Amino acid sequence: MGTPTARVTGLLLAGGAGRRFGGPKALASTDGDPWVVSSTRTLLDGGCGDVLVVTGAEAGQVEQRLADAFGGDPRVRATSCGTWEQGMGESLRAGLMSLVSRGRTVPLVAVVHLVDLPDVGSDVVRRLLASGARPSALARAAYQGVAGHPVLLGQEHWQDVLTGARGDQGARAYLRRARPELVECGDLAQGTDVDRPEEQR
């Protein structure tokens, strides 16, 4: 287990309906472990001090899975995005706005992760955080040179990301301009999202 890093929050986007998958991928499971639970553990074990899960489709069921797994653990919280159907940008926006509202306890860094990357483990998060968890940080995991998730998003970048996060437009445009440091993790995972049930390993 990683040593929790002060004021680093894992931001897990788990709101999609998974239409091609046949249902919300947050509720899919590997070895009986729902992806929303295993992804949350990945962020905690990788060194995040806490995790905020953004829910949407079947939010009640997803949040119940979290409650079953983590009980009253204060490190794990959920927020529901009412506009999740408009796209992932809405979930990212809802998550960052929730973090901003923490006042004096706003995290310095958010580690933005997606729920449909079941082969990405805590070792990827740990390596990403080792690149430097500070407000100016901007880095993302790469797999064989291809940029992927999670993304290390220092607080200084949040406003620019929020400006462009609308509908199905997340942080992609900002990251293309800002050119984050790529942290190669291809030796640890493939980092490819699972879109259809037959792609599960």
Which residue carries 């949350």 as its tokens? 40
Q: What is the pLDDT of residues 74-128, one digit of tens each?
A: 999 999 998 888 888 889 999 999 999 998 889 999 999 999 999 999 999 999 9
pLDDT attached to residue 144: 95
pTM of the model: 0.91
Cis peptide before 34 (omega within 30 of 0): no
Chain centre distance of CA 147? 15
pLDDT > 70: what percent of the chain? 89
**pLDDT digits 0-9 by tens, 138-162:** 999 999 999 999 999 999 999 999 8
Strands in the chain per DSSP E: 5-14, 29-30, 33-34, 48-55, 76-80, 109-114, 138-143, 146-154, 181-184
Q: Predicted confidence band at 1 (pLDDT cuts at 50, 70, 90)?
A: very low
Q: Give me the torsion for CA of 170, 78, 43, 58, rounded to 10°.
A: -70
Per DSSP bridges, beta strands 109-114 and 146-154 are: antiparallel
List the structure tokens of 197.
Answer: 């049930």
Q: What would the pLDDT profile of 21-35 be if each residue is shown by its tens digit?
A: 667 788 888 888 899
Per-residue model confidence (pLDDT) at position 20: 65
Per-residue b/e over 3-20, b at no fewer than 16 CB within 10 Å?
Answer: eebebbbbbbbbbbbbee
Output the pLDDT for position 3.
47
As a whole number, mean pLDDT of residues 44-69 equals 94
> Do 128 and 109 touch, CB atoms closer than 8 A?
no
